[in-house]
Chains A and B, each alone.
Chain A
Amino acid sequence: MRLKLVPQETSFDFFSRWKVWLGISGLMMVLAFTSFMLQGLNFGIDFRGGTTIRTQSAQEIDVGAYRDAIAPLELGDVTITEIFDPTFGEDENVAMIRIQAQAEAEAVSAATVTAVEEALKAAAPDIQFVSVESVGPKVSGELIQTAVIAVVLAIGAVLVYIWLRFEWQFALGAVAALVHDVILTIGIFSELQIRFDLAIIAALLTIVGYSLNDTVVVFDRVRENLRKYKKKDLKEVLNISINETLSRTVMTSVTTLLALISLYVLGGDVIRGFVFAMIWGVIVGTYSSVFVASTILLWLGVKRDWSKPSNTAGNQFANIDA
């Protein structure tokens, strides 16, 4: 008796409502973009400079008292959040204090940190500072730049690779799916105001990798089936290919999600945002490889004459004008 999430043979028609799916994806992207434009991302100090202090104390945390203690220092925008986590023990009360970059200081002012620590010690005597991180505005600016370059480079590199291995229509389809995934991920971070730091960029690139993995597996089968079923039209071939790989798509998504969810629940709060991004990315990535990448491929059409010797097939110099 085997556990089968997907029946042995499926013949779903993934394209009967392809306009609806593309419409939904488009709408989601517009929503994500609007949210990004209206709210903006909740950038961590990696990207906007400033200081975060993580405190731990055996006493209950009184955010108000902390705020009152810090207020006289006039440090501008200070956010204090208490953090709850199932992995914390009974007497572990953790708070995160974020202080905006101090305008005059290009580098990080040690005096500010010391002053805040002193003030907090007065408010809660047993307080411990388990981590203190400061990033100057100079570095944070560069980090944003590097992050954007990294994401663009990754997408570009992938575009070229798929173009070389498949055809330009496949590459465009795959990249459309990637852009879709990246935009939706940024959108959910902006909508839920989850802290967006350097690790999230790593998550974004991993999502790019994962979504691609999925898309490429489907495309690989499409390429094979295009040779196999020369008479069938593209839509049918795409449907057959997606149905054939559906079981694998679901299996891999489930194992990956199993691993990620256990990390989300048990891995501690420090990387929770990072893991959240990846969980979201796996779901969106799986969806997009079927409903975005393949739909775009259908829309663009593809060269059907794969019968020629394979020295031109799978090569960007092959006839692409079919």
Chain B
Amino acid sequence: MLHIDTWKRVLIWLVCVTGLLMALPNAFYTRVEQSNDAKAAIELGIDTPEMQAEAGQWPNWLPSSLVNLGLDLRGGAHLLAEVKVGDVYESRMDAMWPEIRDALRDERATVGTIRRQNSAPDEIRVRISQPEGMARALEVVRGLARQVQTLSGVGATDIEARAEGDTIVVQLSDAEKLASDDRTVRQSLEIIRRRIDEVGTREPTIQRQGADRILIQVPGIGSAGELKEIIGTTAQLTFNPVAGRTTDADTAPGIGQEVVPSLDEDGVYYILESAPVVTGEELVDAQPAFDQNGRPAVNFRFNTSGARKFGDYTLENIGAPFAIVLDDEVISAPVIQSHIPGGSGIITGNFTVEESTNLAVLLRAGALPAGLEFLEERTIGPELGQDSIDAGKVATIVAFVAVLVFMALSYGLFGIFANIALILNVGLLFGLLSLIGATLTLPGIAGIVLTVGMAVDANVLIFERIREELKSARGPARAIELGYEKALSAILDANVTTFITATILFAMGSGPVRGFAITLGLGILTSVFTAIFVTRLMIVIWFERRRPKTIEV
């Protein structure tokens, strides 16, 4: 007959109470949020009485995880950026060129004179004047290749060289391109993270998506444009040899050279060697400072290898001009006065104090290794988010009340049981969402409302079945038992299929849609739990107390 073991009863109530406790902080959202922020601040060492007071708003012994609000509810900016991984090939090849040139020059007797040809940016083409020496030339160039570690095994090298007539074509190997792409995206991710952290916003989401994309979501920021300014400033710092100075932007540069405008002198252009002597990647520190004339400047220091290259170059080129290039603009082109061995220096230019501070921050955070292309950007104002929350709240409450009344009217006492289960169900759903730190979005709220409507389905199935079983009249207890037993397969099949679609939606969807899939999926779990266990327990307890001879469902 109707019987549920004591341990099961305890377990069921325990799950409900735990779920409700986990959901509780969401009922006091602002208060818990302030308290959590204050506690985090205190942990960081900002311990003021105000902070203590804010932290004290929510007792420590209660759970304090909240459901995260998605961008569409909180307001903020969303960017999907594609890292132009190909950019890196170009700088890699440019960096290769001096090495290849020097190696081939050493073999001048066999290969003759060499000349770099114009080429696609991701390759180097070198023509040799004695094609008979091609075999030797290829051997020399291939000798420069380094081993790459790949998953597919050893033997792969970072560059590939082949001959096309009297021309050697050098390219990055496919294995190296893959490895390089991965490194580039990771680096970009890390740098974006650091830049956003320096600005200090709350809970940014910075994720890699697919092979070469990065998703950036920052709540509370004014616009996607603002966000782009923070991360989009590449701060690509290089130190290049200067080949000449001109006032004509259309000057044709020599091979391996480029024309770069000056930052503060209008109409002045520098012709630079494309291959930099040192790059900003080798910087270890940058600080705002003042030069000897009291003007704002930036002090910088290189790492050991950077310092060595910088030292060697300055030693060999005393008296020659030298360009400090930031994001394709020459900041300044001082003449090298003396050998600079220590690897530290100062960048001067027409900076304001603020500019020099920003420049130092950007240099310290490191340059983005490649450009970013923004594929998708969304800005949601905080007011729109708040409106959506308010509308969502009202709609949920009205939906709730409508369903509660309808169930009570249709099933009487059993309807009340189902209603208690429904309320528990939404509580459990919020508890689960907080527990896994899920993000609630506007479609997610729709998912909750839909759950409210559909969650009673399992109970309806059971109640309708009990009604049917009552007709064959073997006593109410038996009818209830049979009702649960026979409805079970329909409940499981129906919910498993819905759960499958929710899972697919979660796997394929992104952003708000994913938020919907989460609430829908978890809603199915909690509604099956409450229907099968909680209402049953309530009915059993009621039945044990009253022992009714007949029941009406």
Binding site for B on A (CB under 8 A): 2-5, 8, 54, 56, 87, 106-108, 110, 113-114, 128-136, 138-139, 146-147, 149-150, 153-154, 157-158, 161-162, 165, 198-199, 201-202, 205-206, 208-210, 212-214, 216-217, 219-221, 224, 244-245, 247-248, 251-252, 254-260, 262-263, 265-268, 270-271, 274-275, 278
Pairwise interchain contact B494-A263, C-beta atoms closer than 8 A: no
The answer to whether A130 and B383 touch (CB under 8 A), given A135-B375, A161-B497, is: yes
Pairwise interchain contact B501-A154, C-beta atoms closer than 8 A: yes
Contacts A132-B379, A259-B402 known; list 11 others, CB within 8 Å. A130-B384, A150-B508, A158-B500, A199-B516, A206-B450, A206-B516, A258-B402, A259-B453, A262-B395, A262-B398, A267-B395
Pairwise interchain contact B446-A267, C-beta atoms closer than 8 A: yes
Q: Is residue B378 within 8 Å, beta carbon to beta carbon, of the partner chain?
A: yes
Pairwise interchain contact B375-A256, C-beta atoms closer than 8 A: no
Binding site for A on B (CB under 8 A): 72, 80, 82, 223-225, 228, 373-381, 383-384, 387-388, 391-392, 394-396, 398-399, 402-403, 406-407, 409-412, 442-443, 445-446, 449-450, 452-454, 456-457, 460-461, 464, 467-468, 486, 489-490, 493-498, 500-502, 504-505, 508-509, 512-513, 516-517, 520, 552
Pairwise interchain contact B461-A248, C-beta atoms closer than 8 A: yes
Chain A residues closer than 8 Å to B460, beta-carbon distance: 248, 251-252, 255
| Residue in A2, A56, A210, A213 whose Cβ sees the most chain B Cβ within 10 Å | A213
Pairwise interchain contact A209-B502, C-beta atoms closer than 8 A: yes
**Smallest Cβ distance from A51 to chain B, in angstroms?**
9
Which residue of chain B lies nearest to A256 when distances are taken between CB atoms in the complex? B453
Complexed CA–CA distance, A106 and B372 (Å) = 12
Chain B residues closer than 8 Å to A245, beta-carbon distance: 464
**A-B CB contact pairs (8 Å), 26 listed:** A2-B412, A2-B552, A3-B409, A54-B384, A107-B82, A129-B379, A132-B377, A157-B501, A158-B500, A162-B497, A165-B493, A198-B512, A202-B509, A202-B513, A210-B498, A213-B497, A213-B498, A216-B493, A224-B486, A248-B457, A255-B406, A259-B453, A259-B454, A267-B445, A267-B449, A268-B388
Complexed CA–CA distance, A114 and B552 (Å) = 66
**Smallest Cβ distance from B512 to chain A, in angstroms?**
7
Chain B residues closer than 8 Å to A212, beta-carbon distance: 494, 497-498, 501
The answer to whether A266 and B395 touch (CB under 8 A), given A199-B512, A206-B450, is: yes
The answer to whether A244 and B468 touch (CB under 8 A), given A133-B379, A252-B460, A259-B399, is: yes
Chain A residues closer than 8 Å to B376, beta-carbon distance: 108, 134-136, 139
Chain B residues closer than 8 Å to A270, beta-carbon distance: 72, 384, 388, 442
Complexed CA–CA distance, A262 and B400 (Å) = 9
Chain A residues closer than 8 Å to B394, beta-carbon distance: 266
Checking B377, B392, B403 against A267 with a beta-carbon cut-off of 8 angstroms, the contacting residue is B392
Pairwise interchain contact B493-A158, C-beta atoms closer than 8 A: no
Complexed CA–CA distance, A4 and B72 (Å) = 41
Complexed CA–CA distance, A202 and B512 (Å) = 10
Which residue of chain A lies nearest to B381 when distances are taken between CB atoms in the complex? A130
Chain A residues closer than 8 Å to B225, beta-carbon distance: 110, 113-114
The answer to whether A161 and B500 touch (CB under 8 A), given A139-B80, A255-B406, A274-B443, is: yes
Chain A residues closer than 8 Å to B457, beta-carbon distance: 213, 248, 252, 255-256
Complexed CA–CA distance, A73 and B449 (Å) = 43
The answer to whether A255 and B453 touch (CB under 8 A), given A202-B509, A205-B505, A221-B490, is: yes
**Smallest Cβ distance from B66 to chain A, in angstroms?**
22
Pairwise interchain contact B223-A154, C-beta atoms closer than 8 A: no
Chain B residues closer than 8 Å to A107, beta-carbon distance: 82, 373-375
Chain A residues closer than 8 Å to B445, beta-carbon distance: 267, 271
Complexed CA–CA distance, A194 and B359 (Å) = 49
Chain A residues closer than 8 Å to B381, beta-carbon distance: 128-131
**Smallest Cβ distance from A224 to chain B, in angstroms?**
8
Pairwise interchain contact A259-B443, C-beta atoms closer than 8 A: no
Complexed CA–CA distance, A107 and B84 (Å) = 12
Chain B residues closer than 8 Å to A134, beta-carbon distance: 224, 376-378
Chain B residues closer than 8 Å to A3, beta-carbon distance: 406, 409-410
**Which 8 pairs between the two chains have the least Cβ-Cβ distance?**
A259-B453, A256-B453, A268-B391, A209-B498, A259-B399, A150-B508, A220-B490, A3-B409
Complexed CA–CA distance, A56 and B395 (Å) = 23
Which residue of chain B lies nearest to A8 when distances are taken between CB atoms in the complex? B467
